[in-house]
Structure 1
Amino acid sequence: MIGVCIPIFTTSVPALKPDGDLFVVIKAFACGVILATGYMHVMPDSFADLTSPCLPQHPWHKFPFTTFIAMISAIFTLMVDSFSLSYFKKKLPMSSSVNNLETTKELELGHVHGHGLAIANGHEKNVNAEQLLRYRVVAQVLELGIVVHSVVIGLSMGASENPCTIKPLIAALCFHQLFEGMGLGGCILQADYGVKMKVIMVFFFSVTTPFGIALGIGLSEVYSDTSPTALIVEGVLNAISAGLLNYMALVDLLANEFMGTKLQSRIKLQLLCYIAVFLGAGGMSVMAIWA
């Protein structure tokens, strides 16, 4: 909860506003953490589950289900991303489009005068509205991916009875939940949601892992992490989550940020952000030794 709330409640600090350099660097670090979570934690867990000796040789050992499911998940995430954006774009007011058409006609006739400024403002509002829609779609899809793998992690932790396994897992979990939360919090802030929606999204992010832990503890008597059913369910969910997180980190977060005007026009800031990404991804990758 602390991680996801930091970006939301520090908007009064000038350096931590969404358009501030420090915020961009911290978000890049968080994106590195999310990327490494998908590649270094979630996907290997899925490989381990779906290639376990406890599963029958056919079909689980004859086909790379983890990478196949992750690939399908990434494509499906792209579809959701694209269709959602198209759907909401159609609901945007058409006045800006009409204004743009009028601008073109007037430019051809050479009669722009003072009306051009009003039309330009209308176009800018339309661009801002489209960008806001983009931020909202990204925030919702990212939360979905984080929620899925948080429940799986919590379930495994709650069902585990080995202290040697639980202690390092808690340390890694705290680290990645903190910075994953900061990445999500940054997306929620940029999406400019109302208070109610912010509370709902923060609540779901905060309770999913504890819910998974409670579920794991409750099912510890009947749940076995070596049973074929448990391995398949966890493996498939982890693969889905890995594909979603990897797509979101690379396409919607990193590529969107680094190809934007702010970083493209400032090489030093761009370099700082790349260093932050490497530090975030590297730190989370090191955590894979213990978790």
Structure 2
Amino acid sequence: MSANSDTDPCVSSRNNDTFLGLRVASVFIVLVCATSGTLFPVLARRSKWLHVPKGVFDFAKYFGSGVIIATAFIHLLSPGLDELSSPCLSPGWSEYPYALALCLLSIFSIFILELIAFRWGTSKLEKLGLRHDPHGHYTGSHAAHGPEGSQTPPKEHSTGDVEAQREEHHHHHGELTHLDDSASAQIVGIAILEFGVILHSVLIGLTLAVDEGFKILFVVIVFHQTFEGLGLGSRLAFIKLPPRFNYVPVLAAIIYGLSTPVGIAVGLAVRSSYNPGSATASIVSGVLDSLSAGILIYTGLVELLAHEFLFNKEMMNSSNGKLAYALGTMLLGCGVMALLGKWA
């Protein structure tokens, strides 16, 4: 009985100290790569001496959209299905597709929360006598995922018209209100996107710390986190926030960079007792992966694709060449991240 328990993948931890030095070093290597990939677009956008062409940011933005969507399906939903159908789980788990149900729950939960927030925000603006475009073109409520046009220009008026001057004053006051409303919406958008990405990053860090095929997985995760960070950073770089919120994109980039190293560190700390194939680990990983998949599917398809292409007046009025370039870049990011799913 004891011999069987030592070899049973559902019971034994099966972890040893192979490549321990490299596993410890991976904490710092992944930290540098992931943080650099995320911070570079943010800092380059703000730098006065580092003049990065707009085309580079556009490439990173569209490439990152593809990365995020592929991450949702290949790196989150697929593992979630495998983990919640593990033979280590009780038979009840195989009687229903729980991973897909949790993903569906996550998608509709994010949608309903955003819908409630939108209705509340619209009602608040209407009480102030301000107008809100449903696609976010006026208030910029979706600018966390890329600019989608410009604000409505101020009305022309005669300088001698007292009523026009009052209206101009009200318009500028309205812009400040829009700015505050937009800031809140953008911060929420960042939080939703980052929440899904961070859960995934912590889990893969935990897996990397104890996985037997460490070398291949380590190389893949370095590329994975760098590409994903580049996609996230390109979104963070273009959000428009009031000066008092300027730290938010940098903070979000740093938190993302820390997520996988934290997972690796935790995995190394509990490697002697942690079994990634156990029933408990499979349930926790499967549930979190499935919920994260729903978050990134909704964010990727609705917030990134729809608002970057269908609801983006600049993109819809652009040349066929620019549209083809954007689509090709997005598909390239999706393809590269989907390919990495062969090893991680």
State TM-score, norm by structure 1. 0.82
The answer (yes or no) to whether the contact 1:51–1:60 under 8 Å persists in 2 is yes
Q: Secondary structure at the match of 2:74?
A: helix
Task: Give, in angstroms, the shift of residue 270 of structure 1.
Answer: 2.2
Distance 2:234 2:119 in 1: 23
Report the counterpart of residue 32 of structure 2 in structure 1. Answer: none
Is 1:81–1:137's contact at 8 Å kept on the other side of the alignment? no
Alignment of structure 1 residues 1-291 onto 2, 5 Å: 1-11=35-45, 12=47, 13=50, 15-16=52-53, 20-57=54-91, 59-87=92-120, 95-97=128-130, 130-160=181-211, 162=212, 165-189=213-237, 190-192=239-241, 194-258=245-309, 259-267=311-319, 268-291=321-344
Kept in 2: contact 1:81–1:138 (CA 8 A): no
Moved more, 191-200 or 151-160: 191-200
**CA displacement at 1:118 relative to structure 2:** 6.0
Deviations 1:181-211 (A, max 9, x none): 2222233331537344344322321211111
Q: Indicate conservation of the 8 Å contact 1:139/1:191, yes or no.
A: no
Q: Distance in 1 between matches of 2:250 and 2:126?
A: 28
Write the deviation string for residues 75-132 of structure 1: whole angstroms up to 9, x where unpaired. Answer: 112223333444555666955539xxxx9xxxxxxx9867666666666666665554
Distance 1:96-1:169 versus aligned 2 partners, 3 A rule:
farther
Aligned partners of 1:2, 1:141: CA distance in 2, in Å?
22
- When residues 150 and 117 of structure 1 are mapped into structure 2, their CA distance, relative to the original with a 3 A threshold, is same
Q: Which runs of 5+ in 2 are unaligned?
A: 1-34, 132-153, 155-161
Q: Is the 8 A contact 1:84 1:137 kept in 2?
A: no
Q: Which has the higher helix share?
A: 1
1:146 and 1:241 in contact (8 A); partners too: yes
Distance change (3 Å), C-alpha of 1:233 and 1:191: farther
- TM-score normalized by the length of structure 2: 0.71
Preserved contact between residue 96 and residue 126 of structure 1 (Cα < 8 Å): no
Conserved in 1, the CA contact under 8 Å of 2:83 and 2:286? yes
Distance in 1 separating the partners of 2:166 and 2:307: 33
Q: 2: distance between equivalents of 1:275 and 1:77? A: 28
Change (3 A) 1:97 1:88: closer
Counterparts of 2:229 and 2:302, CA distance in 1: 18
Percent of paired sites with the same residue: 29
CA RMSD of aligned residues (A): 3.0
1:97 aligned counterpart, secondary structure: coil
> How far apart, in 2, do the equivalents of 1:213 and 1:52 lie?
23
**Mapped partners of 2:193, 2:42: distance in 1:** 16
| Equivalences, count | 275
Amino acid at match of 1:25: F
2:117 and 2:234 mapped to 1: Cα distance? 20
